[in-house]
């Protein structure tokens, strides 16, 4: 600082305000700070008296901000770790990128296969329970075969021609049984053939659909990982929003305290308007540095 500036009363007053405010803010608690600084500066007398409540409110908000920032950093780290784990699963995934929510459609497909088989063999067996058992067994055999073939395709292995012939045989057996059951019931040839073709079509579409769903969709672990990442990002966004609200409340508290302190300097301390404004601005600047 130059010699001229040391004799400048305006510059000296502002420097004294900043030094006094810094001494106040270096103390941990608002009460001890105001008590120590009260005898020597307008800032200390204000913060120890009329401004004590507003200063305590400011300190509470800064503490809340510190906690919020720490929580936000923890959530951000957790979200980054979850995102990295999710990306690793994506990189190691053998299949397609369609949502796992398509996989529950396998259950209706198995049910359709079982119903088709049941309708085909109900008339040909001796009991209802036996028809139910055979139809369920047929559905699980077809669905299991489709999953095995899809897994071979995921491993980049060639699907043997014999496996496709077995699939075709299963579809053909269901169609033949449906045809025979209708002929036993007295249906004409056209009706029996049409029903058999419909049964074959349903069975073939079910087997093909199950295979393609397994092949083109994500796994359940990937689905859970994606949900976990979304939840962590949602929590992080909420924490960041709370930090923004807290900072806005701190700015509002500082503005109110600055205005109140200006009135204190003018009415109680009897300072000139320019000097009071400089002191109030210096106090607000120190508080903003503390509240970052």
Q: Are 213 and 153 in contact (CB under 8 A)?
A: no
Q: Are 275 and 13 in contact (CB under 8 A)?
A: yes
Residue 22 has pLDDT above 80, yes or no: no
111 or 122: whose pLDDT is higher? Answer: 111
Distance between alpha carbon 292 and the CA centroid of its chain, in Å? Answer: 27
Q: Span 28-46, mean pLDDT?
A: 54
pTM summary value:
0.64
pLDDT reported for residue 40: 63
Q: What band does 234 get if pLDDT is binned at 50, 70 and 90? A: very high
Residues in the chain: 292
Q: Are 69 and 240 in contact (CB under 8 A)?
A: no
Residue 108 has pLDDT above 60, yes or no: yes
Q: What is the mean pLDDT of the chain?
A: 82
Reduced to 3 states (helix: H, G, I; strand: E, B; else coil), residue 77 is helix
pLDDT reported for residue 236: 92
Residue 81 has pLDDT above 80, yes or no: yes
Phi first, then psi, for residue 217 (nearest 5°) are -110, 165
Phi first, then psi, for residue 98 (nearest 5°) are -75, 155
Q: Which residues contact 61 (CB under 8 A, 6 or more apart)?
A: 246, 249, 250, 253, 291
* CA 86/CA 57 separation, integer angstroms: 43
**Nearest of 289, 224, 291 to residue 86 by alpha carbon:** 224
DSSP 216-272: HB--HHHHHHHHHHHHHHHHHHHHHHHHHHHHHHHHHHHHHHHHHHHHHIIIII---
């Amino acid at each position: 600082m130059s010699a001229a500036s040391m004799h400048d009363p305006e510059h000296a007053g502002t420097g004294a305000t900043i030094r006094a405010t810094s001494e106040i803010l270096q103390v941990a608690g608002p009460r001890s700070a105001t008590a120590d600084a009260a005898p020597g500066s307008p800032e200390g007398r204000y913060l120890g008296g009329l401004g004590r409540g507003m200063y305590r409110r400011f300190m509470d908000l800064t503490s809340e901000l510190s906690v919020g920032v720490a929580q936000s950093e923890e959530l951000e780290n957790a979200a980054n770790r979850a995102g990295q784990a999710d990306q690793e699963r994506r990189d190691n995934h053998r299949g397609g990128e369609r949502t796992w929510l398509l996989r529950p459609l396998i259950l209706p497909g198995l049910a359709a296969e079982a119903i088709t088989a049941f309708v085909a063999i109900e008339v040909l067996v001796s009991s209802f329970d036996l028809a139910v058992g055979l139809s369920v067994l047929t559905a699980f055999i077809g669905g299991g075969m489709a999953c095995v073939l899809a897994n071979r395709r995921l491993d980049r292995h060639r699907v043997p021609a014999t496996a496709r012939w077995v699939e075709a045989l299963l579809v053909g057996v269901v169609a033949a049984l449906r045809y025979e059951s209708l002929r036993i019931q007295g249906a004409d040839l056209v009706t029996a053939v049409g029903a058999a073709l419909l049964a074959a079509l349903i069975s073939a579409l079910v087997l093909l659909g199950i295979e393609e769903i397994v092949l083109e969709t994500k796994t359940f672990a990937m689905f859970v990982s994606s949900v976990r990442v979304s939840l962590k990002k949602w929590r992080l966004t909420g924490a960041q929003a709370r930090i923004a609200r807290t900072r806005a409340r701190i700015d509002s508290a500082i503005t109110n305290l600055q205005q109140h302190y200006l009135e204190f300097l003018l009415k109680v301390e009897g300072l000139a308007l320019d000097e009071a404004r400089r002191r109030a601005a210096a106090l607000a600047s120190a508080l903003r540095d503390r509240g970052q």
